A and B are shown apart, each in its own frame.
Chain A
Amino acid sequence: MRLLDRYEEVVGHQEIERLRHLASGLKGRRIVHVNSTKTGGGVAEILGWMIPMMQELGLDAHWEVITGPPEFYRVTKMFHNGLQGMPVSLRPRDLDLHLDVNRENAQRLMLEADVVLVHDPQPIYLPRFTPTGRVGRWIWRCHVDASRPARSVWKHLEGAIPHYTAAVFSMAAFTRPLPCPMFLVPPSIDPLSDKNCSLPEAERLETLSSLGIDPERPLLVQVSRFDRFKDPLGVIEAYRLLKPYYPKLQLALAGGTADDDPEGAEVLREVTEQAGDDEDIKVLLLPPDAHRVINALQRSAVIILQKSLKEGFGLTVTEGLWKSKPVIGGACGGITIQVHDYQTGFRVHSPAGAAYRIRYLLRYADKRQRMGRTGHDFVREHFLLTRHLRDYLTMLLTLDQAPSALVA
């Protein structure tokens, strides 16, 4: 069975036909995506399905990965934090390293294409070092909230922007004024991937057992990198506020690692220390391919948490909603367009707020179920990969029509 056909069961024949129709106007177009890691993190996951789907739709799509020494990833992690507003201290040699690695990669990577989509800040300077005429259009895809970046970081990155025909952000709140059109394309999840497909009950129970989680007792789950912006310590605080009322409550904090995130180990140590000897708190460092484990955890949760202080789009929220779970999320970033009070869960502003809303939902099973159903339908309509792909195709076709008329 072809890849697209498999999605018909989820989104219907009509949606797949529409995708084929749109893509027919882009047949043979050479599209290259460039990011900084093949494994770990939302971007790598998105590209993992998007490239083969674009290929099946007749586009000549490829995926290239920028590489550099460990020091490069430390610097670009600072860019990542700085873009999202965290104060960072950059030295001139950090900026030089970033440019040097981009220069080397521009020579090494296969970038000859009609359109190159550059994901996030790591490869942002590739256009400067690529010979003119090799790439038709450069498009910068920014996956994080860049609305209030640290000045030093933005001063460095904005020098790359004039090379781009357009930029893409996940939502309008993440943008800042740029001299090129800024398309809005929310990300999405793959409903058939190991992380989101339905699971046999035996596998789910076996997974819980292997992790030391009791399937008979209520479980709260937060899945995210061990990152301060995800506020794992705040989640533990909320859990501790609830424990006197629900002594059987369990909490799982499951985080993966990513090649481009050297800060994770330090945060993991803080979280483990905070969890202490409470056997009902499971701090799980999972390998990048533990998708089915994450799936089992999310399906076993009574409520999904994503108590971020700063968030990109928050695909773990989308995953939780898809599994028909209410989500309690920090009122920031993409969580605000996915979590709607009393509809799909609750937005919260503090550990106390999280504890209060969890307590409310633990009390009312019927409300949990109704919110779960609404969340599942909401994701099917707006946040599955077919919609994501449709938005990209529409953007490419729109740029073909009148790129100059799109500048605000």
Chain B
Amino acid sequence: MNSPEPFALFDCNLARLAVGKSCTNLRELLDVVRTASDATLEHHMMRCALDDHFELYEFPNDLARWCWDGLGDDVLGEQLGLIDPYQSASPAALRAALTNVVEERLWVLDRVPWCKPGLELHLIESRVFAYATGEQFATLAALAEAIPRLPLRSLFYHVHEARRRTAGRTDDFSDWLEQYGADPALVAQLRAVDFYFLNLNQLRAEFMDIFRQHLPETQAVMMAAGSEVRG
């Protein structure tokens, strides 16, 4: 094993800001995906993961959810649910992908779908306020042991935000483990997690499973105990 700098744990909080605009129909949504700020699109496509309260939420982003629940356009909901913003090379590429899907849908519809009053999509943009917690992990075992008790916000910062920072290349955990000289299979497995389609609790569970597979039995038992305490 190499000895890189210890893994520095960050936490983050979102400063959410109302844009002062809302969508009531599909034509307005098209206007939004064409003209809203990058921060607005990023919030509704990525950072909304921090607001995802229930495992029964069907789609991983606000736009897909609104088309399904608000507009009642299930087809468009499904299409937008499949757009993975972390696979977009840039905010412009994400915007182009969204515009293409919404424009295409609007093109084939006879009538523009509207939402009921009260179900409007209110636009938000956000700033991530991230900070080092002072907590550090020097070994694979220490990091694995911490996963069950991390705040979900930390998980979001080190996975979702890290992917955004690195244009989809890696999360912070696998990046650090790679430098640490951990088993490449562990690194590859963590990096292969389809994180965008999981809520943060599901993501934590998936990471814990992977760490357990790569840890000696006693440490895996400790991790399991940690998760029970948390539960």
Q: Which A residues contact B (CB, under 8 angstroms)?
A: 14-15, 17-18, 21-22, 169, 171-173, 175-178, 181-185, 331-332, 336, 340, 343, 374, 378, 381-382, 390-391, 394-395, 397-398, 406, 408
Q: Which residue of B lies closest to A407 (CB)?
A: B17
B123 at the interface (CB under 8 A from A): yes
The A/B interface has a contact count, at CB < 8 Å, of 76
Measured CA separation A391–B37 after assembly (Å): 23
Measured CA separation A277–B163 after assembly (Å): 65
Contact (A184, B17) CB under 8 Å given A331-B118, A398-B129: yes
B172 at the interface (CB under 8 A from A): no
Cβ A21 vs Cβ B129 within 8 A: no
Residues of B within 8 A of A172 (CB): 16, 18-19, 22, 122-124
B108 at the interface (CB under 8 A from A): no
Our pick among A15, A374, A395 for the contact of B15 (Cβ within 8 Å) is: A395
Measured CA separation A276–B198 after assembly (Å): 53
Our pick among A14, A378, A391, A395 for the contact of B53 (Cβ within 8 Å) is: A378
Measured CA separation A185–B13 after assembly (Å): 12
B113 at the interface (CB under 8 A from A): no
Shortest Cβ distance from residue A341 to the other chain B in the assembled complex, whole angstroms: 10
Cβ B118 vs Cβ A397 within 8 A: no
Residues of B within 8 A of A185 (CB): 16
Which B residues between 2 and 33 are near A, CB-CB below 8 angstroms? 11, 13-22
Cβ B122 vs Cβ A173 within 8 A: yes
B226 at the interface (CB under 8 A from A): no
Shortest Cβ distance from residue B17 to the other chain A in the assembled complex, whole angstroms: 5
Our pick among A14, A171, A390, A406 for the contact of B17 (Cβ within 8 Å) is: A406
Q: Which residue of B lies closest to A332 (CB)?
A: B118
Our pick among A175, A182, A397 for the contact of B129 (Cβ within 8 Å) is: A397
B216 at the interface (CB under 8 A from A): no
Our pick among B11, B14, B20, B37 for the contact of A178 (Cβ within 8 Å) is: B20
Cβ B133 vs Cβ A408 within 8 A: no
Measured CA separation A52–B49 after assembly (Å): 32
Extra contacts, 4 of them, besides A185-B16, A343-B54, A408-B18 (Cβ < 8 A), are A21-B134, A177-B21, A183-B16, A184-B16
Residues of B within 8 A of A391 (CB): 13, 15
Shortest Cβ distance from residue B38 to the other chain A in the assembled complex, whole angstroms: 13
Residues of A within 8 A of B21 (CB): 177
Which B residues between 117 and 140 are near A, CB-CB below 8 angstroms? 118, 120, 122-125, 127, 129, 131, 133-134
B185 at the interface (CB under 8 A from A): no
Shortest Cβ distance from residue A332 to the other chain B in the assembled complex, whole angstroms: 7
B56 at the interface (CB under 8 A from A): yes
Measured CA separation A264–B185 after assembly (Å): 67
Cβ B20 vs Cβ A175 within 8 A: yes
